[in-house]
Structure 1
Amino acid sequence: MIRDDTACPSCGKHNLALKYALNDQAYHTAKCRDCGFIFMHPYPSDAFLHDYYKTRSLYNSGNDASSYDRAVADRTALITGLLARGGTKPNGRSVDFGAGVGIAVAAQAALGFEALGIETNPQAQAAGHEAFGVDIRDLSLEEMPRDLSLFTLFEVLEHIKYPREFMAQVRTHMATSGAVAGSVPNYNSYARYLRGKDSNALYWPEHVNQFTRETLTQTLEGAGFEVVYVGFPPPYGVVIATGLRAWLRKVLPEGTIVCRVVAAITWIKKCLIYPLPNSFAEKTGLLGHGLVFVARVRA
């Protein structure tokens, strides 16, 4: 099927408002005046994106074992909470799409799923096999297993052209009681208000879609899912990064004192600074760093 990469990928209209000129001046962030969807205009070609992802460096390659253990524990806790919201029990087949080195795949396997990761980057596949012993393959969506109890995509949907069509294809692989869960950068994050085109939500050339709570909900519902939750559970809410803890670890020798100071700063941010802005983000959909979602297959 031939698509018009200059039209809105959600509704197909050309009634667009250009927002930001991106790092490559041939591309802009555009908002559809008809449906509100926000995206990179025009979409980059499939060939360009394929070559880019095959050769890019890994985000978390070279991490030590303890870093991986913490990441798996954090992802396990997040998935457990999302499953509880969606009423999904941790059994049956699961797929993590855009698996990277397999952190979410390892988390799903630990929860009891028959877990598979799908990832195009061969370095990531090898790293996942070595770090976790999990099954990660380069498969197309059509080759993906069916009757899935769980399909996850963390920080992936913003990379995929025509996300509603993609999620509609995913739905054909789901069990009738299945759930999808994941996360995307929030276009309405405070970082985007402060940094504009240099914010994470508009990261060039990877983030071809920019989601708000409303447009993410529209995308999932339009693909045949019932949205259970879209919000900002930690650490996806408001993030204030000063670099103070990293600076302390750099200038002071490792020991009890620096560990206690870092722990105190962490407690202050978690218990005193973050609750109010995160409550605001959860209520309004504004300022939070990333949107987390879970949805069920609609009967």
Structure 2
Amino acid sequence: MIDSVHLEDVSCPLGCPKNDEFVLSGRDLLHDLPGTFTIVKCRTCGLMRTNPRPTQETIGFYYPDDYGPYLGTRVQQTGPKQTSGIKKLLKPVVKRLFNFNTEALPPLSPGRLLEVGCASGAFLHRMAGQGWQVEGIEFSDKAALAATRLGYYVHAGPLETAPEPRQPFDLIVGWMVLEHLHDPIGGLQKLCEWAKPGACLALSVPNAGSLEFRLFKEKLYALHLPNHLYHFTPETLRQVLEAGGWALENIHHQRLLSNLLASTGYVLRDRGYTRLGQKLIDFPKRAGKWHFALYPLAWLLSAFGQTGRMTIWARKQA
């Protein structure tokens, strides 16, 4: 482990007595940065966490400037895109037929929206185009600057240091963010204070209760050690949300097989099939139309709650 990264030992955030069991050990497969990290499971509530873990002050080492979400959420400033009449007719049909549940949102009229972990601003930009008043929070200074240059207010820094908003929010979203927070319950409580009565929360997280987690273990693409500090199942996510002031309403299991194929790539690469393994590892970045071809199998697995990611809706408790 490099000298500049400091580790800390933390207890279960739900206040359970210290009674953990070992789950697995793994390393950073995304950037091949140094360090081996352990996941433990609380025997009382079942919540899994990375422990020990890098401190909030030093974990930035594992978020280099070429970190995937920063690059993948850039907005290309180009002229208006010309769309053929056939494509305009087909677009709503395709949306109805292929609902991947990746950024599923509750049915709300446009209002005030906060995105936690907005990266370079692509989602903010899209929602602003639909009439929402948008703000963001982003850990990376560079990514936050890219979102700010689009014209949106973005706090550069962790949720813990974000100032209170000028007005409360109707909708708060966080796509693959909650598992990165050092204090997820404190973060959820803070967001609850910033939300209007009856406001909605939409989050996506990896599903540690899925077949993929049990099958691939330390080779799981969505494990993402040590950046992912918590590893949620539907039940432990419900407990954490309630402790943070939110009532879970819906779970939408995402209809994508990206994680499964990329995890298979890690296994093949370690067994010497380097070229094929790397192609599968790169699948999430280059899947394109393959998502549609794999949709029937993804839909079937999602119906049984066995895909690797889930999107949830919650509402602020009265």
CA 1:10–1:50 in structure 2 vs 1: closer, same or farther (change >3 Å)?
Answer: farther
Aligned match for 2:40, one of 25, 30, 33: 30
CA contact (8 A) 1:217 1:230 kept: no
Between Structure 1 and Structure 2, how many residues are aligned?
262
Q: Which amino acid counterpart does residue 291 of structure 1 have in structure 2? A: M
Helix, strand or coil at the partner of 2:128 = helix
Cα distance, 1:14 vs. partner?
A: 0.6
2:294 maps to a residue whose letter is K
| Contact 2:256-2:291 within 8 A present in 1 as well | no
Residue 222 of structure 2 contacts residue 259 of structure 2 at CA under 8 Å; is this kept in 1? no
Q: Which amino acid aligns with 1:229?
A: N
Residues 237 and 231 from structure 1, CA distance in 2 versus in 1: closer, same or farther, beyond 3 angstroms?
farther
**2: CA distance, partners of 1:267 / 1:42:** 40
Residue 231 (1) aligns with residue 241 (2)? no
Deviations 1:86-116 (A, max 9, x none): xx3321x211111111122113212322101
Q: Of the candidates 5, 13, 18, which is equivalent to residue 17 of structure 2?
A: 13
Tell me the amino acid that sits aligned with residue 280 of structure 1: F
Asked if 1 retains the 8 angstrom alpha-carbon contact of 2:255 and 2:295, the reply is: no
SS in structure 1 at match of 2:50: strand
Once the two structures are superposed, the pairs formed by residues 154-173 of structure 1 within 5 Å of their partners are 154-173=175-194
The residue type paired with residue 58 of structure 1 is Y
| Structure 1 position 39, deviation (Å) | 0.4
Q: Describe the SS at the equivalent of 1:22.
A: strand
Shift of 1:129: 4.1
- How many angstroms does 1:152 deviate by? 1.0
CA contact (8 A) 1:186 1:288 kept: yes
Q: Structure 1 residues 13, 266: closer, same or farther in 2, change over 3 A? A: closer
Pairwise CA RMSD of aligned residues?
3.4
Change (3 A) 1:236 1:11: farther
Question: Hey, what does 1:119 align to over in structure 2?
Answer: 138
* Higher share in helix: 1
In the TM superposition, residue 202 of structure 1 has moved relative to its aligned partner by 2.5
Aligned with 1:137 (options 155, 158, 161): 155
Taking the aligned partners of 1:278 and 1:66, their CA distance within structure 2 comes to: 35
Most deviating of 198-207 and 169-178: 198-207
Q: 1:267 to 1:46 in 2, by over 3 A?
A: closer
- Contact 2:257 2:298 (8 Å CA) reproduced: no
Secondary structure of 1:296's aligned partner: strand
Aligned partners of 2:255 and 2:299 also within 8 Å: no
Letter in 2 for 1:270: Y
2:295 aligns with one of 270, 279, 282: 270
**Residue 30 of structure 1: CA displacement?**
0.5
Does structure 2 conserve the Cα–Cα contact (< 8 Å) formed by 1:236 and 1:290?
Answer: no
Q: Is the 8 A contact 1:61 1:127 kept in 2?
A: no
Q: 2:89 matched to which residue of 1?
A: none
Structure 1: state its 5+ residue gaps.
248-261, 282-286
Q: In the TM superposition, what is the alpha-carbon distance from 1:190 to its structure 2 partner? A: 3.2
Aligned-partner Cα distance in 2 for 1:29–1:181 = 26
Of 200, 204, 209, which residue of structure 2 is paired with 1:188? 209
SS at match of 1:150: strand
Instruction: Provide closer, same or farther for how the CA distance between residues 268 and 95 of structure 1 changes in structure 2, counting only shifts above 3 A.
Output: closer
The answer (yes or no) to whether the contact 2:176–2:203 under 8 Å persists in 1 is yes
**Separation in 2, partners of 1:177, 1:156:** 22
Q: Give the AA of the match of 1:111.
A: Q
Distance 2:125 2:152 in 1: 6
Q: Which amino acid aligns with 2:106?
A: L
The C-alpha deviation readout for 1:154-205, integer Å capped at 9, x for no partner, is: 1010001121222012111111121111101111233322321121342121
Change in Cα spacing, 1:179 to 1:295, as seen in structure 2 (3 Å) is: same
Determine if contact 1:185/1:200 at 8 Å carries over to the other structure: no
TM-score by length of 2: 0.71
2:115 is aligned with 1:90: no
1:147 match:
168
Which letter maps to 2:300? L
- The percentage of aligned residue pairs carrying the same residue is 24
Q: Structure 1 length as normaliser, TM-score?
A: 0.75
2:20–2:43: 8 Å Cα contact kept in structure 1?
A: yes
